[in-house]
Amino acid sequence: MDMEIVFPGGKRVDALYKDFTIGTDQSVRGGGEGSSPEPFDLFFASLGTCAGIYVLSFCQYHDLPSEGIRLYQTTKRDPETNLFQKLKIDISVPVTFPEKYHKALVRSAEQCTVKKHIAMGLPEFEVTISSQTENQ
């Protein structure tokens, strides 16, 4: 999985991935224009949407309605470091959603690969530097 990161101006930093441009910006308070989510917002969203695709897939596989299902993601931060101490995802289902599937739905959300990577302490990070050639 390769991605190119570019600087289109201001405090914007974009990721070029496949045929997509994933835009980020800093908030106005952070010196940006607030035109796109901040990079950490995308990280946060990746956790919720990853759990969401597993919930949706579970419903589709079992021919269960997904209409009205919502995932609510909240965090608790360490007051000293401001880093996440706990991330909670609450799956809100309509009262008509069969209760016999509640635990299985939670287990499906817990299969999120983004969560698994973090829980395993992966990946190893490496940052290097290289010089560009005239053709780059």
Q: What is the pLDDT of residues 15-33, one digit of tens each?
A: 999 999 999 999 999 999 9
Residues 21 and 81 in one domain: no
Same domain, 4 and 27: yes
For 29, the domain range is 1-37
CB distance 51 to 67 below 8 Å: no
What SS3 state is found at 50? helix
Alpha carbon distance 95, 89 (integer Å): 18
Residue 127 lies in a domain: no
Residues 6+ apart with CB under 8 A from 130: none
Same domain assignment for residues 23 and 46: no
19 with 50, same domain?
no
- Of residues 73, 71, 32, the one with CA closest to residue 55: 71
**Which residues of the chain are modeled with pLDDT < 70?**
135-136
CA distance 39 to 46: 11
Instruction: Read off the pTM.
Output: 0.85
